[in-house]
Amino acid sequence: MKARIIIPSCLVVSFLITGLQLQAERLTLEIWCELEPAVFEGSEYPISAETAAKRLLEEARELFSAMIYGYSFSYTPSDRARGVQDRFELTPLGEVMWGDPRLKILDIEKRESRMFGKISYTLASFQEERRTAWGSNTIPTSTGRGERNVLEGVPAKIGSFEESIKQAIRDYARKRIFNKPREITGEALLWENPRTMINSGAYSTQAKIKLSILDVVPYRFF
């Protein structure tokens, strides 16, 4: 496998995508930001239109990064008999940089207590090739859902997204790996528009990923 430059960064996810298209080498999505979040953060409340626009752009940048570069992951399923706790780690493999001129806000509007933005990113040829390669029918897809309490604030949105990725990997592995492994490692790419909603006091995210399992480490002894 070719060496990659891994750029650690925290994926910020506070969005509801209502549409995703790849046309003329361009990704386009619609995301939202709460103007009156359940948990107050900072000195500005409600959040101003200018601050909301910045958050939307930052969230779109992170989301496009997930769709173009993806992650490496390490997953250790919990095992009560062995006293092993559940552990899951995601590491971004690259990012769309802040200030990239190909990242643009096409439209923005307020709807009740949320700010919606339509944002696009024009792919470079190598980025388009990367998406095309991941689109191969030989690379499987999997879907998962994750939830976090809204009272946890912004980290809850991040957590619900990461949990959805974890569940997608877990569900795929459980159907194919019959003996519980000590560790699963691989790579995942956010493939389609994840859906994040607020439901019964929780951020609930559903995400579809492309998945490549690179190694399954078994337990040598019970």
Residue 181 has phi, psi (to 5 degrees) of -85, 160
Mean pLDDT split into 10-residue runs, the chain, 222 residues:
33 36 70 86 85 89 92 92 90 94 94 92 94 95 95 83 94 89 94 88 94 91 58
pLDDT, tens only, 29-49: 888 888 998 887 777 889 899
Question: How far apart are the C-alpha atoms of 79 and 218, rounded to whole Å?
Answer: 13
Q: Which of 163, 170, 164 is nearest to 186 (CA)?
A: 170
- Each domain of the chain, given as residue ranges in start order, spans 20-217
Q: What are phi and psi of 179, to 5 degrees?
A: -95, 125
pLDDT in tens, 134-149: 999 999 999 999 999 9
pLDDT of residue 222: 55
C-alpha span between 146 and 193 (Å, rounded): 15
